[in-house]
Chains A and B, each alone.
Chain A
Amino acid sequence: MIVLLGVLVVVIGFATKRNPLLVVGVAGIATGLLGGLSPGKVLAAFGDGFAGSRAVTIFAITLPVIGLLERYGLQEQARNLIARFAGLTTGRFLALYLGLRQIGAAVGLTNVFGPAQTVRPLAVPMAEGAAERKYGELPDRTREKVRSFAASADNVGLFFGEDVFLAVGSILLITGFVNTTYGTHLEPLQLALWAIPTAVCAFLVHGWRLLRLDRHMERELLTARVHDTAVVEATK
């Protein structure tokens, strides 16, 4: 029972807004020691964990080229491009991105899109460009919201697309765990098929919320503008 204190450390650490790296470090040391590992074994566990999970940080390899292109105006050009498609609002564009991300993940292309590769250099400037064409310069709050939703479209698309693909980690984890632990024989294909209903729900729910973002922005920005003109007139 006492090893569960490690979980408690994590919960308390986040509740009191400590630096997550410290929370995770302390929770790891506490759990390891309470679970009967020697201090050397705890250190080794941290080392093995870092070495074994380098793949999650490999996206850093794309940063120099993205940074270089941004120096030369990549984000500005993404805005220019989207400005030409009159019918494409922020919400519609992000819903389109969600669909593409989901289809990509469902056919196994989980690393083709992503926050560093496509969201920052392309999706965000395009989503903001669509809004700027309609409303002009965006206030910071709206800009934050558009960016948050762009990140969310990428995540939702990835999570609820990839399980439809057979060779993805989570499907292989399920079959590996169940087949070895319980001695059954589950095929990845069976599991992938059962991921389809949730994938459809995810597209409908999040797509609908992305489309509503348009209406939300319209309300927020138009009232803000009315307010602004009122202030200007009052001070004339």
Chain B
Amino acid sequence: MIKAEWFYWLVGLSFLVMAAQMVTDRSNPKRLGTGTFWGLIGAGFIYSSWVVTKQAPAEPLGAAVLVMACLAGFGFTGRGTPRTTTSEQRTASAAKLGNRLFVPALTIPAVAMVCAIGVKHLSFGGEPVLQEGSETILGLGIGAVVALVVAMVMLREKRISVPVQSGRSMLEAMGWAMLLPQMLATLGAIFQVSGVGDQVGKLTASVLPEGSLYIAIVVYCVGMFAFTVIMGNGFAAFPVMTAAVGWPVLIGHFNGNPAAVLAIGMLAGFCGTLVTPMAANFNIVPAALLELKDQYGPIKAQLPTAGILLGCNILIMALFAF
């Protein structure tokens, strides 16, 4: 059986190799901090395998995470000059290779699709070929490895250091944004165990006027939206707002259709995800990946859509859920 952990190790290992390159990259004025940051992430990726199975203590990893946050947060990381081709070389190479260049790029989604649809149901010797529940992650990982092989054969590129260097430049360009999604997931978990959810539930219930269905709908949807903006995640907002308003008021008191109320409530939360820097993996990481000067560019592009869709969700719920 192919396990998801293998790909986490592969990612961890490549981060470690890239970290070693970063430390020796003299074009980067902050090479030591940068190398340490990515080295810790890489080691953390591998060490995590034993934390997940409770075979190793989580505290050292937690300490390492805080060190990474300080390294990046206090400006100890930077980027070197990428070693790459010139614009003229790229144009010439594109002219020579033509549309064949798309083959490896499209291999990633194609393999991911085959794994998610087909290989998912295959088993070998009574065991599923792909670890259950991780088919999409595995699809992405296998797709990336297959695509790399296809690309290197097609381009007659023999040095594995070339793709590693290119990947490293993209990592350095993304910098700290790369770690933020994982940090936010952690923050959500800490909020949960510390009882933030219960407190917000009590607060919302105390300000909600009784007897008005439409106000309750607006409070539920806007609450999902606002709390998602703060937490960066609709999943964190959902239990809070549903316990406060969705279930007791909209479904219990006003006899709403549970499936409609809850599904639309969650989508109101997704409107919040579109406009918050806290949802870094959707908003800040792409900005870094696309080398935007304004890291809030995607949020600005999404803001009007999010507002209109929040209104749509409130309307749809008011019209069809009761």
Residues of A within 8 A of B (CB): 1, 3-4, 6-7, 10-11, 14, 18-22, 24-25, 27-29, 31-32, 34-37, 40, 42-78, 80-81, 108-113, 115-122, 124, 140, 144-145, 147-152, 154-156, 158-160, 163, 169-171, 173-174, 177-178, 181-182, 184, 186-187, 190-195, 197-198, 201-202, 205-206, 209
Contacts and interface: CB of A to CB of B under 8 A. Distances in A.
8 contacts: A1-B199, A11-B230, A57-B181, A58-B141, A111-B136, A160-B270, A163-B270, A205-B309
Given A54-B48, A56-B182, A56-B185, A163 B263 contact: yes
Given A47-B51, A47-B65, A57 B301 contact: no
A175 to B, nearest CB: 9
Contact of B274 (A118, A140, A155): A155
A4 B259 CA distance: 30
A45 B199 contact: no
Given A21-B69, A68-B162, A186-B262, 5 more contacts: A6-B194, A74-B94, A77-B102, A148-B301, A194-B259
B186 A151 contact: no
A151 B70 CA distance: 29
A62 to B, nearest CB: 4
A155 B112 contact: no
Interface residue SS majority, chain B:
helix
A54 B45 contact: yes
Given A73-B90, A155-B274, A43 B171 contact: no
Residue in B49, B147, B182 with the greatest tally of chain A CB atoms within 10 Å: B182
A47 B137 CA distance: 21
B109 interface: yes
A122 B103 CA distance: 12
A25 B183 contact: yes
A25 B73 contact: yes
Given A122-B105, A160-B270, A47 B290 contact: no
B64 to A, nearest CB: 8
Given A61-B144, A62-B108, A163-B263, A46 B308 contact: no
B313 interface: yes
Interface stretch (B28-36, B121-129, B209-217, B235-243): B235-243
A115 B285 contact: yes
A164 B95 CA distance: 41
B238 A50 contact: no
Contact of B62 (A46, A190, A191, A192): A46
A147 B285 CA distance: 13
A106 to B, nearest CB: 13
Interface string B88-109: 0111111101110110110011
Interface in B1-50: 4, 7-8, 10-11, 14-15, 44-45, 47-49
Contacts of A178: 242, 247, 258, 262
Interface string B246-267: 0100000000001110111011
A49 to B, nearest CB: 3
B196 A31 contact: yes
A81 B74 CA distance: 43
Nearest to B41: A57
Contacts of B289: 115-116, 119-120
Give me the 10 closest cross-chain CB pairs, A-B, nearest first.
A35-B194, A49-B186, A67-B166, A73-B94, A47-B58, A47-B61, A22-B73, A46-B62, A51-B48, A148-B297
B123 to A, nearest CB: 19
Given A14-B277, A47-B65, A68 B267 contact: no
Given A22-B70, A58-B140, A174-B263, A77 B101 contact: yes
A45 B58 CA distance: 7
A61 B108 CA distance: 11
Contacts of B59: 40, 43-44, 47
Nearest to A59: B140
Contacts of A35: 190, 193-196
